[in-house]
Amino acid sequence: MILTSKSCPANNITLERLMAQIDRQKTIAPNTSISTINSKLMFKNNGTADWLREKTEEQKNTIIVKCRQMGEEKKQRDIRDFIKIYNEKSTIIEARIEEKELKEAKMQAEKEKIILEINNLGGKWTKLNQIYSFISTCKTKKLKINAIKAQLTYRKEVEIQKVDTNSKHLFKKSLDLPELTENLKKINTAGTIFF
């Protein structure tokens, strides 16, 4: 491990300088590709010009031709990578949009189901006599409880009725008939006065 990391720098000053150089290049020429910036910085920082100067004209020409060929190949790879990343991102975005639309459609279907149930119960109960009038027509306790729960659900999920933090328990549905009835009366009182 020590032998492997022997050539590693003791700090990140070199990397910070390199990032500063990249930032400077992007400021000077905002439309320049990262690949071009990398080539310029590597040419400068690695002393490529000095190394090339020591070569013969024939060697220089051979190296330049090879570099141009490799540069074109790299450019094509970069384009393919960009297209691949773009397509992957597009697929993720499309999946999220579809997921959101499905979620919204599901919520809308649930709201429509709640509205239909409320309509079957004679609409939203806004008066005290409506509560007792409908409950009196229910033959079983279970039907009475379900009817009041439907009214509570309608106010919470469809109307999105706002209540203060201390009153959130009023929407609780795991209660007995008298408690549910009392909670419905209190919730209605927040928006409508009973007659």
What is the rounded CA–CA span in Å between residue 6 and residue 27? 35
What is the rounded CA–CA span in Å between residue 155 and residue 150? 9
Total residues found in the chain within this entry = 195
Q: Give the global pTM.
A: 0.53
Q: Which residues contact 74 (CB under 8 A, 6 or more apart)?
A: 35
Count of CA atoms in the C-beta half-sphere (13 A) of 71:
12
Count the Cβ atoms, other than its own, within 10 Å of residue 146.
16
What does the pLDDT read at residue 94? Answer: 96
Domain boundaries, the chain: 53-108, 121-191
- Locus of tokens 């090879």: 66
User: What tokens does 8 get?
Assistant: 């590693």
What does the pLDDT read at residue 191? Answer: 52
What is the rounded CA–CA span in Å between residue 180 and residue 119? 20
Count of CA atoms in the C-beta half-sphere (13 A) of 147:
25
Q: Is 183 exposed, middle or buried (0-12, 13-18, 19+ CB in 10 A)?
A: buried
Give per-residue burial for 51-60: e unless 16+ CB within 10 Å, then b: eeeeeeeeee
Q: Which residues contact 10 (CB under 8 A, 6 or more apart)?
A: none
- The tens-digit pLDDT sequence of the chain (195 residues) is 777 777 777 788 888 888 899 899 989 988 888 888 888 888 888 888 888 889 899 999 999 899 889 988 988 998 899 999 999 999 999 999 999 999 999 989 988 988 888 888 777 887 777 877 787 888 888 888 888 888 888 888 888 877 777 777 777 777 788 888 888 888 777 654 333
What does the pLDDT read at residue 190? Answer: 62
User: Would you call 6 helix, strand, or coil by DSSP?
Assistant: coil
